[in-house]
Amino acid sequence: MEKSSVQYFDWGHIEWIYEPEPGNSLSSMNIALTTILPHRRQERHIHYGNEQVIYVLSGKGIQLIGEGLSDIEPGSVYHIDAGSAHETINESDEPIRELIISMPVLHEQTLLMPKGGHEAYWGSDADNENVSITNEIMYIYEAIVTPMRIPVAIFDNNGSVVIKGKDYPDYCKTRCIGRGNEVNCPVYEIKGEYGPPHYNDLSAYICPYGLTVFLVPIMLGGKSIGIIKAGHIRTPSSGIYHPNELMPLVPKGTLKAVMQQLKKLSKSIENYYVFKKTEVELNKKEEIIQDIAKHEVALEESLKLTREQVLNIQINNHFLFNTLNAIAGMAIKEHSLKTYQSIIDLSKMLRYTASSQNYFVHIKDEMQYLHNYTNLQMLRYGDRLEVDFDISEEIKSKNMPYNCLQPIVENCFIHGFKNTKDNMKIKISGVIKEGNIIIEINDNGEGMSEEVLSSLRQRIAEFEQYELRGLTMVYSKLKLIYEYDFDFAIESTQGHGTAVRIVLPDHIA
């Protein structure tokens, strides 16, 4: 039994042991166990929307149904018609326990929340909703309540007054006057209802002075957001408490009209909140649409700017290549062959980086790019640098991601040979083994300590947290393309160089 199926009151509690799903017209019966504590009184009340059968399980007391008064004993069975007054008094030292079977009357079925109605639309937002005063709510209230000329008060779920009642009869004013000459009705202090938790129907209490006060929940998304307490009239179910000070009985037709107007007030407030929620949702969607439109405009402007930048790069590259060719021509005239070769290598490198627009390139092209790069480095270091390429013929026509090797070789010069100026060696090898492309780059530089190597490996593994450059840039590119179907390993020993090994799947290439 979930805690939400137990209703607690000053006099005891009601535990609903069977409740049909809301809106299920094939199963409308509700079954509960009622416990009335010793020396407590269940206030006189009226259920206008349901009838009940009560079976007394244990305990003794007095029960009033309509105008009939009877003793409660274990095994007793009682039937309460819809609209009848009901009151139970436990004068004993033992609790009274009753089994209650409650059935909503047929003409009230439309008040149940339909399946897939506002509850499905509103979702869980109604859990935190509370009826509150607004100009629209006051307009609805005045339009419906003013012609009735009876006191109608609205309370939120916390029992706080949202709209105060007015037009109280003199009978109420002489008996329940409170601070500030305002009526302090004892029914306003009563919390909870006697119906099943999901049954959102009109009910009523009878005050200690014999007047009927109707209670109509204000529902939203299948949840109560407030309650209307109204009436303060004498009905046939009210009984006679003060024979010398009777108020006139309200005719049955007037009574039905009052109940209909109170239900209309509750439904109108519910519809207002549904409308406001819909309005808010539509405004949010409108804002989203406007944001999308703004983003589209910004994207178009960004694409236009990118096109202009690409065009500028193409123009600049064209100018740069022409300039390099002119300088190369001057080098030949001056018989500076090394300068000429260096310019050609640089020109080829620039053309390679400017012309490649694909993720993948042939390995032979990537190796040629490395040749051009190391030729420039050999111009700088001369015979002190030795570069050895050992690339098998079978992998030259294979594909690999563009520009994944040059940053590794560049690292040899930046870190490996930082403190070494002689006998610098780099070996670049590539083979196919067991269906994988294996490329290794080795140098004989100063290497790394175990601590530095471990830190580098961790930095590469957590590349999202760092600026992408060098090895982290290469690893991030391979991760983006191959996800987990590749291997990137670094081995190094202090004073004995560093080796980087890349293993790529042949089937993607």
Q: What is the DSSP string of 370-417?
A: HHHHHHHHHHHHGGGEEEEEEE-HHHHTSEEETT-SHHHHHHIIIIIT
What is the rounded CA–CA span in Å between residue 257 and residue 237?
17
What is the rounded CA–CA span in Å between residue 211 and residue 252?
15
Angle at 505 between CA 504 and CA 506, to 5 degrees: 115
**CATH assignment of 111-276, among 3.30.450, 3.30.470, 3.30.110, 1.10.12:** 3.30.450
Is there a contact between 218 and 270 (Cβ–Cβ < 8 Å)? yes
Does the fold of domain 111-276 match that of domain 3-110?
Answer: no
Q: What is the average per-residue pLDDT within 122-131?
A: 51
Considering the entire predicted model, what is its pTM? 0.44
Closest among 172, 90, 91, 161 to 132, alpha carbons compared:
161
pLDDT for residue 209 is more than 50: yes
In sequence order, what DSSP letters do the residues of 472-494 get, joined into one string?
Answer: HHHHHHHHHHHTTS-EEEEEE-T
Where does the pLDDT of residue 112 fall: very low under 50, low under 70, confident under 90, or very high at 90 and above?
very low
352, 356, 368, 370, 489 from 325: Cα distances, Å: 16, 21, 20, 21, 40
In sequence order, what DSSP letters do the residues of 16-54 get, joined into one string?
Answer: EEE-PPTT-TT---EEEEEEE-TT-EEEEEEESSEEEEE
What is the rounded CA–CA span in Å between residue 430 and residue 442?
12
List, for residues 74-94, the tens digit of each pLDDT value. Answer: 888 888 876 677 889 999 999
pLDDT for residue 63 is more than 60: yes
What is the rounded CA–CA span in Å between residue 265 and residue 296?
46
Angle at 263 between CA 232 and CA 277, to 5 degrees: 130
Is there a contact between 430 and 391 (Cβ–Cβ < 8 Å)? yes
CATH superfamily of 3-110: Jelly Rolls (2.60.120.10)
Angle at 396 between CA 393 and CA 397, to 5 degrees: 115
Share the mean pLDDT of the chain. 78
Where does the pLDDT of residue 37 fall: very low under 50, low under 70, confident under 90, or very high at 90 and above?
very high
Contacts of 37 (CB under 8 A, 6+ apart): 11, 12, 90, 95
Could you tell me the two tokens for 345? 């290598």
Looking at mean pLDDT, say which of 100-109, 284-293, 448-457 comes out highest. 448-457
pLDDT of residue 451: 92
Where in the chain are the domains?
3-110, 111-276, 382-505
pLDDT of residue 114: 35
| Phi–psi pair at 243, nearest 5 degrees | -60, -30
Looking at domain 382-505, its CATH architecture is 2-Layer Sandwich (3.30)
Closest among 194, 202, 207 to 239, alpha carbons compared:
207
Where does the pLDDT of residue 509 fall: very low under 50, low under 70, confident under 90, or very high at 90 and above?
very low
Where does the pLDDT of residue 120 fall: very low under 50, low under 70, confident under 90, or very high at 90 and above?
very low
Around Cβ 362, how many Cβ atoms within 10 Å? 15
Give the strands of the sheet with 96-104, arranged side by side: 6-9, 12-18, 30-36, 96-104, 50-58, 77-80
In sequence order, what DSSP letters do the residues of 282-312 get, joined into one string?
Answer: HHHHHHHHHHHHHHHHHHHHHHHHHHHHHHH
pLDDT of residue 452: 92
